[in-house]
Amino acid sequence: MTKVIVGMSGGVDSAVAAYLLKKDGYEVEGLFMRNWDSLVNNDVSGNPNLGNDICPQEQDYNDALEACRILDIPLHRVDFVKEYWDYVFTYFLNELKKGRTPNPDLLCNKYIKFDLFKKEAKKLGADYIATGHYARCKDNRLLRGLDKNKDQSYFLAMISREQLEHVLFPVGELEKKEVRKIAEEAKLNVAEKKDSTGICFIGERNYQSFLKNYLKPNPGPILNVETKEQIGIHTGLMNYTIGQRRNVGISGDENRHYVCGKDVEKNILYVAFGDSEYLYSDMCTLEDVNFISKERPKECTAKFRYRGEDYPVSLEYIDDTNIKVSYPEKVKAVTPGQACVFYLGEECLGCGIIKEIYKDGEKLFYL
């Protein structure tokens, strides 16, 4: 019998993935990953409502354990806290220090879920691994999930073609509402459990309060990008991202002002008012480029953020890990540190990390 180790997160998607695989006749076992030590999540804000259970991994483990009991499959547990810190969280902090906006989920998939997890699963005798991602895999090609609102191929774009081997995505052919319905019919304990949002190690806490544990606040001036007049004090450039409107730290209508740039050397945050002309660009450069597909197209579509729309782009290959991306339709809030993910129709080709932004031939001053 073919053995599949399912990454059990304590959520409904992975539980249904395990259920479907068992129903299809596979020998199924679960494996729960502990990637973050919630005891280091002490909040420095003094808010008594933000305790040590902000990233409730133990609750997730208990939910996964109960789901496996209902499914009558064993659940193993593995600790990747050190590896997550070394490969994901350290990168996250270093990117913030550069004034960029990183996406740690891509690195978690690359280094933890589809590398260390896969190796651990092989120790348990796995022929395949499976996760609850809304994505599809066919002939080692990564495809979008059928549910366009839940498609998670964006977060998988940094893994390699080899890492896709012997991987199953059982819910990738389903819509979320179907997954919920299956969970209810199977009487799974997580059928109505809410989806997790945001970054696990931050949880529901205040983002800026969390970062104070690791990065020293460095306040500086907020300048009007047009007049260069100081209009406020920012709490540290790592706390802001391009296009941000809320909690910028200046008075006025949040619908009229937005973060449009950073000067890391001078520790300046730039804010624009009125229309959003400062947010648009028509070209960017990428670094750390990764291709899953064997295709190296000169033209395709790209997403510049999760849940963003697809834009037609032209690719100019500088070298193996650097690409220049041009987009005739100017795109709003392309942000250094985020991933630009390439697609050809349903296939996710890979991605690169946004490095520099240009408009009309001039480099924008985001960094």
Cβ partners under 8 Å of residue 224, min gap 6: 230, 231, 270, 271, 272, 273
Helix residue ranges per DSSP H, the chain: 12-23, 57-71, 81-84, 90-97, 104-107, 117-123, 176-185, 207-211
284 annotated active-site: no
Looking at this protein, which amino acid is placed at residue 125?
A: G
Choose, from 55, 68, 137, 200, the residue flagged as catalytic. 200
The vertex-21 CA angle with 20 and 22, nearest 5°, equals 95
- Alpha carbon distance 278, 243 (integer Å): 9
- Edge to edge, the sheet with strand 230-234 lists 230-234, 220-224, 268-273, 257-263
Q: By the 8 A CB rule, do 8 and 14 touch? A: yes
CB 29 within 8 A of CB 3: yes
**At CA 29, angle to CA 25 and CA 32, rounded to 5?**
145
Strand bridging mode 339-344 / 347-359: antiparallel
Reply yes or no on whether 340 is catalytic: no
Q: Provide the token pair at 221.
A: 């001036």
CB atoms within 10 A of CB 165: 13
DSSP 8-state secondary structure symbol assigned to residue 193: P
CA distance 166 to 107: 20
- For the purposes of burial, counting CB atoms within 10 Å of the CB of 287, is it exposed (0-12), middle (13-18) or buried (19 or more)? middle
> Which one of the listed residues 68, 108, 260, 340 is annotated catalytic?
108
Positions annotated as catalytic residues are: 108, 200
